[in-house]
Amino acid sequence: MPNLMPALSRFQAAKVLVAGDVMLDQYWFGDVSRISPEAPVPVAKIEQTEHRAGGAANVARNIAALGGQVALLAVVGEDEAADSLAHLLAQDNIANHLIRSHDAPTTLKLRVLSRNQQLIRLDFEKMPDLGSLKSVQQRYAELVAQYDAVILSDYGKGVLHEVAAMIAAARAAGKPVLIDPKGADFSKYAGATLLTPNRAELREAAGGWENEAGLTAKAQGLRETLGLGALLVTRSEEGMTLYRADGQTHQPTRAQEAYDVSGAGDTVIAAMGLCLAAGYTLPEAMHTANAAAGVVVAKLGTAVCSFAELEQALAV
């Protein structure tokens, strides 16, 4: 693959619709110097707090950071966490199509860290109500034709309950639809342009393998069975491999010290979707996404790759 330098103007003209499960990531940073007298647990003296948009919202953040136009469709609660998410989206110039639910809270993940080591994570979540899910489908039908590509970000929280219909609507509108999958049953994603599972997700859906040939057989078999345009398997320290009908293309991992891999999958699918919206081929998009992922793994938590950082990474 030649050194592919992205054109900011192409990214700025590209429009991507992201739909899926959003969450608010809260980080509490503090110092631990003693054990609680009440129980054998560390006492963290909190000195700093931080809020970040997570899940599908982090996918949208990555697209915005790379210069693309992006809209986010998701379900949130009628609560302070939803207000925080809306504020964060506005800061990043992400078009907000958040459906407010009276029955389910915004998914919230609270992490307590000391010296960049996570002590505990507390999750607050509930499946969205049927009324909110119906509103998602209605809004999606109104929006899909206005965008160059669609990303469906599945975190298993329920917003993509009708994912097959969403894929069909995107394909009917002539839009590529990329999906970050969840769970053991990938059949619901049939007909998508691209799936981006990691190794563990692929193994859960297709079964294990013993060697590279076995992995190729599993990936290509799944791609053919589901009628996918392509399957991109992210392989951590092994890089990523794109499987298509005419064979496979591999990208080794970028030379980078991995600091935190959380959110790297969001960056990969965000860059892939933005590149396809901008007219890139799938191998070109993978090359770009691999460079962007190499940037975010060197950052703590749900991070993004800016266009300037991508340019620098691709220049190496």
* pLDDT, tens digit (0-9, with 9 covering 90-100), for 55-86: 999 999 999 999 999 999 999 999 999 999 99
Between 237 and 151, residue with greater pLDDT: 151
Percentage of the chain modeled with pLDDT above 90: 77
> What pLDDT does 196 receive?
95
Cα–Cα dist 114/210, whole Å: 39
State the burial class of residue 200 (Cβ atoms within 10 Å of its Cβ: 0-12, 13-18, 19+).
exposed
> What pLDDT does 1 receive?
45
Please tell me which residue in 21, 25, 180, 266 is annotated as part of the active site: 266
Cα–Cα dist 178/182, whole Å: 13
| Span 7-55, pLDDT tens digits | 778 999 999 999 999 999 999 999 999 999 999 999 999 999 999 999 9
Phi, psi (deg, nearest 5) at residue 280: -75, 155
The average confidence (pLDDT) of the chain is 91
Q: Give the mean pLDDT of 253-264.
A: 61
Sign of the C-alpha dihedral computed for residues 221, 166, 58 and 119 taken in this order: negative
> What pLDDT does 263 receive?
61
> What pLDDT does 2 receive?
45
Q: What is the pTM of this model?
A: 0.91
> What pLDDT does 89 receive?
97
| pLDDT over 50 (residue 262) | yes
| pLDDT over 50 (residue 3) | no
Give helix then strand counts, H and E, for the chain.
10, 13
Q: Give the mean pLDDT of 273-287.
A: 94
| pLDDT over 70 (residue 219) | yes
Q: Is 266 a catalytic residue?
A: yes
| pLDDT over 70 (residue 128) | yes
SS3 143: helix
- Quickly state the pLDDT bin for 255 (edges 50, 70, 90): low
Q: Helices 163-172 and 130-143 meet at what angle, rounded to 10?
A: 10
User: From start to end of 56-94, where are the E strands?
Assistant: 69-77
| Inter-CA distances, 173 with 133, 146, 168, Å | 21, 9, 9
Cα–Cα dist 11/271, whole Å: 10
Q: Give the mean pLDDT of 202-228.
A: 91
Say which range, 41-50, 83-92, 251-260, has the weakest mean pLDDT. Answer: 251-260
